[in-house]
Amino acid sequence: MITLCIRYEIDQNKHCDFEQYARAWPEPIRRCGGDLIGYFLPTKFAGPTNSALALISFPDLTAYEKYRGALMKDHAAVENVARVEKSGCIRNEERSFVRRVL
């Protein structure tokens, strides 16, 4: 099992736009073969307010590659990406794979 970790730098004045983007992902991610652990927005309690996180698990790298291909053809996913790009709430994305230690 591998987990895709997406770190987002977001516009701290556009949390609502990012939250709408995150809420639109569960179905397309499942439909395309990912296991969404969750999207996480920053709080005002501690830490940076412009950093968000998404975690999505896959059985292996082959499953991830199939997921990426399916996601690019999924109508809801394509619309969601277009909507977030128009809003300008995401300033940067950084992707990495992590594995869970049991």
Q: How many CA atoms lie within 13 A of 28 on its CB side?
A: 19
Helices (H), the chain: 15-23, 26-32, 61-71, 75-87
Measured at the CA of 92, the angle between CA 84 and CA 94, to 5 degrees, comes to 115
CATH class for domain 2-42+55-97? alpha beta
From CA 47, how far away is CA 37, in angstroms rounded?
A: 22
* Confidence at residue 26, expressed as pLDDT on a 0 to 100 scale: 98
Mean residue pLDDT of the chain comes to 94
Q: Domain residues of the chain, as ranges? A: 2-42+55-97
* Confidence at residue 93, expressed as pLDDT on a 0 to 100 scale: 96
Interval 58-86 mean pLDDT: 96
Residue predicted with more confidence, 102 or 26: 26
Is the predicted pLDDT of residue 46 greater than 80, yes or no?
A: no
* Confidence at residue 37, expressed as pLDDT on a 0 to 100 scale: 97
Interval 10-33 mean pLDDT: 95
Is the predicted pLDDT of residue 66 greater than 80, yes or no?
A: yes
